[in-house]
Each structure stands twice: as structure tokens, then as C-alpha cells.
Amino acid sequence: MGKVFLVGAGPGDPELLTLRAARLLGEADIVLHDALVTNEILAMISPAARVIDIGKRCGHKLLTQAEINSLLICCARRAEAVIRLKGGDPCILGRAGEEIEALAEAGIAFEIVPGITSALAGAAAAGISLTDRRAAASVVFTTAHRGHGADAVEWDKLAASNSTLAIYMPGSDYRRLSEQLREAGVEPHTPCVVISGIGRAGQQMLWTDIERLAGRDPLASPALVIVGRCAGMAHRAAHEVAHEAEARAATGMQTMPAHT
């Protein structure tokens, strides 16, 4: 009977992996990974390991969650070290709870190895303090898509919390997301930033506010939206730094003596 490690792969940059995650990837017998795990991180897996892609492609899952649970149990009964490799952190919007429950019921040992979730990596890339005491005392991690009825996102409660909102999987319908937030009571001019490809070579940022978000073209997935005054403070600070740098550069050019 082996052991299953639920490992967070972070946002994509191998340098953002924990040391423990990196070591386990080099020692694993079997690795089951999601689609969002980058090739750079997959390259860190032991060449002797069996690697199984169980990710989602174009909205279609290769395996159901029940099938993934069964596969984890089967692998753990045949190998000593099995890794369930998830993008970001395994316990944030990653269905780790269902896998943990299945492993526990099967009597299989498991361990969670945390990873840097996209909200934290995205905030760091954008220079945002998610809980700047001058703007927000808390942060909420949520997803824009959680079904309907009892499973729907309760935007009104999230808006009433006055927290910074980190919205995973915003999709491509920014107009609908803008409408939902405004209907829930978020002020139209509340700052927000969309960050795409966090921690990857093609990372992009779109700074705007909730009202103007409706008319903007969507960035490529995977993406994250950070909403709140903290985003506005970071944007102003970045603008001021850039302005000062331009001013220093211009002053230096003007005072530089001519070559003789």
C-alpha cells in the first residue's frame, strides 16, 4: 500500500514550487496531473515515473471525479509514492476534499503539499496587497462559475463583505460578470484587474473598473480577476513609479553633457 501526495504545482513557474514539491516530483512512481500544470514543471518528474494526464480539454473532462478517485486508489495499491499534481494549491477550488474523502475511506495514507494559488501569485505580479488595512481587512477566493440555484455564487453576500475579491475562472463573458457584481451592490467604479497566464511567459494584465470591464475583450485562460480598492491603490502606485522613472530618465538626458 502506497501513499498519495496531493501536491500544488503553483501558477506555472517552476521557481514558485515548494522545495518539498520539487523533491517529491523527482521521487514519485506515478504522477496524475491536471491540464494547467506547465511543461516546465512536468519536466521535473522522474524519468522512471509513470505520468498520467487527467486534465480537462476544451471544457471536457477526460475522467469524471469518481473515476479519478478510483484511479488514485488503484495507483496507491500498486506503487509506493503517487502524486496527484494540481495547478495552484490543491485545496483551493481543486476538489481535493472529494479525493481526500475517497482515500480515507479506502484506508490509503495521504499528505497535502501546499502550492501558491493564482490569487496570491497574481496579486504579487500586480503589486497588490490584498488586505491593505487602508482598503480591505479580508480577501475572498471564489469562482465565477458555480452552477445555479443553491450552488450559485452569492454575489450579494460577497459584495457586502467589503473584502477584496479574487475571482477564479471568470470566463470570457466579462459583461455578464460586470452585471452580476453591479447588481450585487459593487460600485461601478470599483477598480479591478484581470491577470492572464499568471507566472508564465505570456502573462498579461488588464487594469480597469467594474463598469468598463463589460466592454473589454477577454484575456486568454487561465485568468483571474481581482476586485477592490486594493487593486486601485496598486495601479496608482505603479503609475506613479513609472511616471517618476520617466521623469528621471528625461532629466538625465537633458543634463547629460555633450561628447567633445
How is the chain split into domains, by residue range?
3-113, 118-240
Sign, Cα dihedral of 25, 31, 32, 33:
positive
Q: Which phi and psi angles does 72 have, rounded to 5°?
A: -60, -45
SS3 label, residue 126: helix
The x, y and z cell numbers of residue 209, run together, are: 473598473
Given 3, 13, 29, 34, the catalytic residue: 34
Question: Which positions ≥6 away from 46 have C-beta within 8 Å?
Answer: 25, 26, 27, 28
pLDDT tens by residue, the chain, 260 residues: 899 999 999 999 999 999 999 999 999 999 999 999 999 999 999 999 999 999 876 566 788 999 999 999 999 999 999 999 999 999 999 899 999 999 999 999 999 999 999 999 999 999 999 999 888 989 999 998 766 665 678 888 888 888 999 999 999 999 999 999 999 999 999 999 999 999 888 999 999 999 999 999 999 999 999 999 999 888 776 655 554 555 566 666 554 554 43
Active site residue 157: no
- The Cα 119–Cα 139 span in angstroms is 10
Sign, Cα dihedral of 81, 86, 90, 96:
negative
Given 56, 156, 157, 173, the catalytic residue: 56
Return the number of other C-beta atoms located less than 10 Å from residue 186's C-beta: 23
Q: Which CATH architecture has domain 118-240?
A: 2-Layer Sandwich (3.30)
- Superfamily for the 3-113 domain: Tetrapyrrole methylase, N-terminal domain (3.40.1010.10)
Active site residue 56: yes
| Residues in a beta bridge with 6 | 84, 112
CB 9 within 8 A of CB 85: yes
